[in-house]
Amino acid sequence: MTRPFWRKWEETRKRGNGRSGGPAEVPISSFPHFLISLFLVAAAAAGQPPRDLPPLPEKLPGWIRNTDRNHIFYRRGRYNFDVYNVPKLARDLNAVAVGHAMAYEDLVTGKAGQLETKTFGRIDRVLKNPPRFMPDEAAISPTFGRRYGVLEQVFDWTHILHAQTVDVLASKQLTEPEKDREIERLWKFYFESVPYAVTPLPMNMEFLDGQPYSAAFRKKHPKVNGLFWGYHWLQGAMYDMLYRASAEDQRAAYEVIGEQYHKTELYRTDRPFMPMFAEVSPIFAARFPHIANAFDNLHMLHDLVNDILASEWITDKQKDDQITRAIWLLSAAAHRGEAPGRRRQEAGGSKQEGLHDHRHFLGVPGMGMMTGMTPELMWMPRMGWMSMADCHHCSMPLWDGEDWWRNPTVTAGGWSMRVRCPLCARDMSAETKGRSLLRIPTEKPDRIVFVVSDDAGNLKTSTPGVVFLENEGSHTGCDEWSRAFSSLAAFAAYVKANPKLAGAKALSFEDWAKREGRKPDTYVKPKGPSENPYEHRGHQR
Amino acid sequence: MKGIGVWVCASLAVLGGAAPAGAADHNNVDAHRPLSFDDADSLAFREQAFELGLNLAWPRKRPLGLGMDFEYLYGFAMNSHASLGFEPSTGGRAGDPDTGFDLGSVALGLFHNFNREHRGAPAFSVRGDAYFPTGREAKGVAFRLRGIASRQAGYGRLHLNVDLNGNPGARKEERQIHPGVVLGYSRPIGYPVHFHTTGLAELSVRAGEDRGTGPVIGVGVGMRRQVGVRSVLDVGLQSDVAASRGAPRDHLRLVVGYSTGF
């Protein structure tokens, strides 16, 4: 077996006591700690920021300080650059690269003060006039790259995974099963080619967003942060839009997604937290939870870096150390031997315990735990508390296990929800304002009906020959009496196999689209442990 | 005329000869595409590229000449690539009285990047090329060693190339070893509105090919423009503006090329 090139980095280096400056950590029960806490409270009250930063781990792998260039080409494939089959999406993704790079360069060249004005204006201009080709980020942010070269390697390498998975999904040559297999190969290629892959485990976002510098960037630069989170929204939302969709459906769906992105998501400054992948592409996240987690973790690494760079009270040397630490926290190497759904208990209850908490929401292995939430209940702005394992329209359990693909989704107003049946999707869409996108599986896993709803609630699809069953009864059985089929023959076969549906009529898309179901008899609004888990969150002491 | 093909080839190498580097991105600068300097970036690991070019030269006291160059590059290892190229030409060539068609030498090259640019340190690379005598009257295997340093200068980059050219098959009146230096500059054009073009400029000094001749000073300007997702069109204009003690030189050289990576 070939020895990976990066073995030379495998040696670890010992770094003294590993501290990056500031007061030493002390046992939580000690009297000195009490005095330090008292000082910090007093300092915070006087408007002075604290100076205690988490130390660098004592042993760090050699690669984390490498000075090599390490460019690796895309995994070879006939699908490469097929994102251009959805031209508007391709160009918007090109613009995303520019935005990140411009902001980073200004942050490290003493221009942070103009981030909300001049920099925002420059970025916004590019977002409104996206480039034809993917720009070279390194040329836009040369100072940033020179200073944080390893971070750039992590970003670039994970961005390649982003780009290639999208290319596969946008390919017109690969079949749907081939796409699934190729995405797994891409993951393997990503994960095994370098030592600095981002961890695929769900991470505790409350821990990661609870660092001494957390939220500094979003507080100081809300408009630019809004752009960053808008990019991350798009980079998540595009997956369900592309997954198992025809080229025609992909382009039609991007009319809805792209409009939402340009008109709303880029300019939102009211998000309490970054968009999570499984919030906006729950189907892809259910199929590839490791990839969903890696992208969330990449985006969290972006947030950590933004917050570190925006914290003026941190010295340049400390910033370097904290960015190195952030890379380590999100690296696969830091979590070897750990498993999704588990929480490694640290001896003596370490402050780092949250770092090894890989629990996820019930039914959503592709999303780590978030601030103030429980595995059973998740909170979303404007939506409140919800069980991610249940239908968001009728509260009945969603499809899972081998049937994970059977859940329809509704995408509207920046969110994406899984529901249990086509009726739930249609009626939930009707209850929402603005345009929406419905993704309704048929009896075939690779045949999805994409439906676009306009502002007035009129539904359209480009899928020919699709028929629906809607024999409305209690929602305890909506997974049986509400279904979509790719053909009349498939409908007939299903009805024949289910005698209690004997006599059910096949509905054309037009007939089905005009219907409206009764209010689900099973709906229950979940109640969470608080009204809004982010309401009283103090990110910066 | 012994070994003149190899010598011409070696000279051209100093001017931007059979040398590739970098991916098919307008910001990555390869020798010959269109000027004579390389940046310190190698091809990405496992990347392949084809680079094709045409050049129209007006050598001093010679008729116009037309040259072509073809290059295949492969990133065979991390931060390293290999290249294979050849450069047929016809018509006038600086330092060569012959105007017939010449297949030129076949060049095999290796490029390795030692480090990226970090903090105050430039990116450093080295490349070596061997020129096999497949052209007219060619003799012996010529070579070139090139050290490359690239460093950020504002939004642009400076590239220093230091060359050592060797020609064991040189005639008595020709130098067996002759050095050269190229200082190149590349800068993206159109930021922050456009992101597809890079402007290039260079200043070079090389020892004359024949014993007793003085140095040749060259200048050049050029542009690389992204025309496809993985393809770049380039155009450049070079001139040997000064030469002492009768060193052969080109008044003007127009270069047009196309690169594609895959």
Q: Where are the domains of chain A?
A: 5-340, 388-514
Look at the block and give the residue holding tokens 């329809």. A408
Q: Which of B26, B78, B119 sits opposite A146 (nearest CB)?
A: B119
Interatomic CA distance for residues B50 and A454, integer angstroms: 48
> How confident is the model at residue A380, as a pLDDT?
87
B121 at A interface, C-beta within 8 A: yes
Residue A503 to chain B, least CA–CA distance (Å): 56
- Quick one: which H or E segment has residue B254? strand B250-261
Whether the CB-CB separation of B127 and B163 falls below 8 Å is answered with no
What number is the average pLDDT over the span A451-480? 95
> How confident is the model at residue A536, as a pLDDT?
67
Scanning every residue of chain A, which has its alpha carbon at the shortest distance from the alpha carbon of B43? A71
Tokens of B189: 């054009």
> How much is the ipTM here?
0.85
Least confident of A50-54, A170-174, A286-290, A319-323: A50-54
Interatomic CA distance for residues A402 and A171, integer angstroms: 25
Reduced to 3 states (helix: H, G, I; strand: E, B; else coil), residue A397 is strand
What number is the average pLDDT over the span A465-494? 97
Residues of A in contact with B116 (CB under 8 A): 67-70, 149
Residues of A in contact with B119 (CB under 8 A): 146-147
Q: What is the mean pLDDT of chain A?
A: 88
Q: Which of B46, B155, B188 sits opposite A72 (nearest CB)?
A: B46
What number is the average pLDDT over the span A68-87? 95
On the 0-12 / 13-18 / 19+ scale of CB atoms within 10 A, B66 is middle
A71 at B interface, C-beta within 8 A: yes
Strand-pairing partners, residue B130, are: B108, B143
What is the 8-class DSSP label of residue B199? E
Scanning every residue of chain B, which has its alpha carbon at the shortest distance from the alpha carbon of A65? B118
Least confident of A218-222, A275-279, B142-146, B248-252: B248-252
Read off the pLDDT band of A39 (50, 70, 90): very low
Whether the CB-CB separation of A273 and A205 falls below 8 Å is answered with yes
- Quick one: which H or E segment has residue B136? none
> How confident is the model at residue A217, as a pLDDT?
95
Q: What is the mean pLDDT of chain B?
A: 88
Read off the pLDDT band of B169 (50, 70, 90): confident
What is the 8-class DSSP label of residue B174? B
A130-184 pLDDT per residue, tens: 999 999 888 899 999 999 999 999 999 999 999 999 999 999 999 999 999 999 9
Residues of B in contact with A125 (CB under 8 A): 192-193
Q: Which of B44, B46, B188 sits opposite A139 (nearest CB)?
A: B188
> How confident is the model at residue B40, as a pLDDT?
97
Whether the CB-CB separation of A393 and A523 falls below 8 Å is answered with yes
Please tell us whether the domain made up of B2-261 is placed in CATH 3.10.130.10: no
Contact A5 B78 (CB under 8 A): yes
> How confident is the model at residue B246, as a pLDDT?
81
A73 at B interface, C-beta within 8 A: yes
Residues of B in contact with A194 (CB under 8 A): none
Q: Following DSSP, what letter does each residue of A486-534 receive, concatenated?
A: SSHHHHHHHHHH-GGGTTPPEEEHHHHHH--PPPPTT------SSS-TT
**Which CATH number describes the domain made up of A388-514?**
3.30.450.410
Read off the pLDDT band of B130 (50, 70, 90): very high
Residues of B in contact with A135 (CB under 8 A): 195-196
Interatomic CA distance for residues A486 and A490, integer angstroms: 7
Residue A130 to chain B, least CA–CA distance (Å): 9
What number is the average pLDDT over the span A65-74? 93
Q: For helices A87-108 and A120-128, what crossing angle results, to 10°?
A: 170
Contact B115 A98 (CB under 8 A): no
> How confident is the model at residue A347, as a pLDDT?
53
Q: If you compute the radius of gyration of chain B from its CA atoms, what whole number of angstroms results?
A: 17
Buried-state track B70-95, b at ≥16 Cβ within 10 A, e below 16: ebebebeebbbbbbebbbebebbbbb
